[in-house]
Amino acid sequence: MKKISHRQICGTPRPLLLSMYAKIPTDGSLFFLLTLLLLLFASAYDVQGASHRTNGRVIRVIDGDSLQIATDEGVLEVRLYGIDAPEYDQWRAKAGKRWLRGYLLKREVEVEKISTDQYNRQLAIVYRGGEAINGAAVRKGYAWVYSRYCHREICRSWKKK
């Protein structure tokens, strides 16, 4: 089989960079190798598990699992990671919101950001005095562990015994 040169196909000489690396594979193996390296780098960096902690003051309790917290960076809307609480029209929704408001409103907390949800809220574990509020809400009976989305070890300790 006769080799066709770059000049014959494009009408121009081969770019210098490509001429230096003339044996670059064109069958997709280079793409596979680069993708594999990117995935290895991302897993080593632990993008999923990276968390960020900040301190703030609770300024509003939206419902049994959502808060607004004033921090140095601004106001954060936070959804408590790994738990779910009754919605507005469900049984115990008001009781859960009332407990959370009494326990956290105008108090200093530490926020450990896990990720961001589709509504741009921070999914976070919120601590008051070293205690994870997410787990406290479950233990008090105002929320339950959302096993479908809570993949951290700490979630197992929140489940009611």
Q: Tell me the catalytic residues.
A: 79, 87, 121
Q: How many CB atoms lie within 10 A of CB 81?
A: 25
In whole angstroms, give the CA distance from residue 70 to residue 60.
9
145-160 per-residue burial string, b: 16 or more CB within 10 A, e: under 16:
bbeeebeeeebeebee
